[in-house]
Chains A and B, each alone.
Chain A
């Protein structure tokens, strides 16, 4: 059974750093793109970017480029999303999700999703 298990909710202050995680199991982790999707309170879905675990090839949404960093640890079957300096506007639920088809990032949709990690940034 494919599962994506995300780290728990976080409460941080503006300016602090944060790294959240997403551990995949039940499939060959290295061969499917994993992505991150933001959902701000009461709002819709925003595609942040994707990373290919086998070689850490990354595609960022320009809207998030430079604001977050995606990484993976293949030995742990885990993907990460990190911030170096959080803002109040980063308050949101962050979902990790795995593509439906292995290998290509093109013409692909997110089939498996984590439960989401609520990040709250408040002074």
Chain B
């Protein structure tokens, strides 16, 4: 299986900050990476697909980049509703695998 490693595991930030989360794949996955947001007690929500495609309805402060093995999710001007956990997921090879998650805390 392709291993997905996220860093950091958690980050403390304030409203208005810019937060960057990194995801590294154990092998080349081209641009086949997505990002999800999950709030406590809620189902995950797709934010980014194909490394940089912003899902419909997702605020423009969320952006993704990268290709190959290294990817980033950037949240610009952090809002109160952005405090959540974030997961990357590769869709290149079965089985798709998730990163371990990054918790964005106040």
Contacts and interface: CB of A to CB of B under 8 A. Distances in A.
The answer to whether A and B interact is: yes
Interface of A: 37, 44-47, 49, 59-63, 95, 97, 100, 105-111, 113-116
Given A109-B89, A111-B55, A47 B46 contact: no
B18 to A, nearest CB: 24
Interface string B88-99: 010110111111
Contact of A110 (B44, B50, B99): B44
Given A100-B46, A109-B46, A109-B89, A47 B101 contact: no
Given A45-B44, A97-B44, 10 more contacts: A45-B87, A45-B98, A45-B101, A59-B94, A59-B95, A60-B95, A63-B95, A95-B43, A97-B43, A113-B44
A97 B34 CA distance: 15
Contacts of A47: 89, 95-98
B96 A44 contact: no
B100 A107 contact: no
Interface in B67-96: 87, 89, 91-92, 94-96
A107 B98 contact: no
A110 B50 CA distance: 12
Contact of B43 (A44, A106, A109, A116): A116
Contact of A95 (B44, B49, B95): B44
B95 A107 contact: no
B34 A109 contact: yes
A100 B49 contact: yes
7 contacts: A44-B87, A44-B101, A47-B96, A49-B95, A107-B91, A110-B44, A110-B46
B88 to A, nearest CB: 10
